[in-house]
Amino acid sequence: MSLTQVMEQYQSILEEEVHDIAYETGAVKRKGKLDATTFVQLTIFGFWQDPDIRLSGLAQIGGRREVYVTESAISQRFTPECANLFLRIMQRLAEVRLEGEKVDIPLLKQFSEVIVEDSTSVSLPAALAGIWLGCGEEGWANESAVKAFVRWNMLNGELLGPRLTNGRTNDHKSPFSIEELPEYSLYVADLGFFAIERLCSIARCKNDENKKSGKRYFVSRLQPHTNLYNRKGHLLELKGILPQQVGQVCEIGAVLGQKNGVPVRLILLRVPKEVAEERQARIIEKAKDNGNEPSKEILELVHWTIVITNIPRKMANYEEILVLLRLRWQIERLFRLWKEGGKIDEWRTKNPYRILCEIYAKMCAMIIQQSFIQEGCWLDPLRSIVKAAACLRRECNRIMVAFYEGNLENTVQSLLRTLQSGYRIDRRAAYPSTAQLLLDGLDWQLELLLT
């Protein structure tokens, strides 16, 4: 499916389906000057173009669809029903799939997909705790929060999600199922998603159609206090095998899970003192925020990078495994883009339902934005999603006008041409980016400073 076809589906949702959803949610009870289509689009494209836009700015954008309304008329629309409307629209947009070409990186192309999963949270006013429950108890900070889970395919840039849950949802209870991972795919996630049963399920996941076991791979850091066993079922003692010299690597075979365990490669790498101290500071700060104190064992283990994977050696050596592990940071950059560029966690109002409408509308914009980034510049490994997003913010209202006036295909092609220049990251000699390591090979002495 081409981007133009995807945009036509987005157009169908935002121009046609929106009416049915508006009546189903009760967001529209009678016809007025500001219909559901215009209201939804001026909100989505308005906050996409300027995340800090005021109501007067939204009213001006409505004029591009030949609808002239007051700030008050827009403000009155931000109701609980309209919040449900925007949530449903976001969910529908997230269902549209754009399966583009795969980036030409041999290390990645061995897999059918390279899926990185993570989540990000947005704290909400306490008044919304009945809709999205946070981690804090009643009357405390973070009483209400929403968590967005995302899977991102590093091979073709396809975004799956966001799927929203209560803010207190543990990462290993992700709304994405293991069964959604295709055969011969690679799964990479941070320690929040680490669970022995989860990783074993990935390795043993069966195809629902033929019930045959399809090989799937994972790369993960090892969660402290996780037991590993040798092939004879005896417990491995990490202290006895940890390398003692900075830069020294030890790799051995192990078994994850005592009963019906999965064979894995255990890779242990001693890091420099300054890297370990930086890790310790982060751990102590995070524990302090949660009212806890880290154990001595956890603080001691930061002197090593400890990785487990079921990728065989013939597919990737330990240096390449370390590069694949770095992919987990790419989705952090995506969330930073959403929060710093799209400002999905900032607003100018105290109206809780206007806040919800704004968050959902901004997430709708981020979904559409990623479709353009995927089609426009993903095949270049040195792409900069930050530069591409800045370009799209300046031009995004052309899409809304094309929805209204027609000529969508020419508008899409024009925007894609705009993305073709000035969107690359600069090569770095001292601290190579993940893209450089994937393209040029790994200098693992530098990797020690970056893991």
Confidence at 90, pLDDT banded by 50, 70, 90 = very high
Confidence at 138, pLDDT banded by 50, 70, 90 = low
pLDDT: which is higher, 430 or 379 = 379
* Torsion angle, alpha carbons of 274, 277, 278, 279, to 10: 120
CA distances in angstroms from 133 to 10, 57, 137, listed in the order given: 30, 32, 9
What's the pTM value of the predicted model, to 2 decimals? 0.91
pLDDT at 403: 93
pLDDT at 383: 87
142 close to 122: Cβ distance less than 8 angstroms: no
pLDDT: which is higher, 301 or 365 = 365
Using only the alpha carbons of the chain, give its radius of gyration.
Answer: 24
CA distances in angstroms from 405 to 14, 310, 409, listed in the order given: 14, 53, 12
pLDDT: which is higher, 140 or 191 = 191
361 close to 86: Cβ distance less than 8 angstroms: yes
Segment 327-339 mean pLDDT: 94
pLDDT at 316: 92
Query: Picking from 17-26, 201-210, 245-254, 402-411, which range would have the lowest pLDDT averaged per residue?
Result: 201-210
pLDDT at 355: 97
Rounded distance between C-alpha atoms, residue 393 and residue 56, angstroms: 19
3-state secondary structure of 430: coil
Q: Where are the beta strands (DSSP E) in 249-294?
A: 249-256, 262-270
3-state secondary structure of 282: helix
Q: Angle at CA 27, nearest 5°, toward 26 and 32?
A: 115
pLDDT at 449: 40
Confidence at 207, pLDDT banded by 50, 70, 90 = low
Report which secondary-structure segment, H or E, holds 286. Answer: helix 273-289
Q: Structure tokens of 230?
A: 């040798």
Long-range contacts of 37-43 (CB under 8 A, 24+ apart): 38/62, 38/65, 38/67, 39/74, 39/77, 39/82, 40/14, 40/85, 40/86, 40/89, 40/361, 41/14, 41/65, 41/400, 41/403, 42/67, 42/74, 42/400, 43/86, 43/357, 43/358, 43/361
pLDDT of 146 > 90? The answer is yes
List of residues 6+ apart from 58 with CB closer than 8 A: 42, 43, 46, 71, 74
Query: Picking from 211-215, 292-296, 315-319, which range would have the lowest pLDDT averaged per residue?
Result: 211-215
pLDDT at 132: 96
Burial label for 118, CB within 10 Å (0-12, 13-18, 19+), is buried
Neighbours of 122 (CB within 10 A): 22
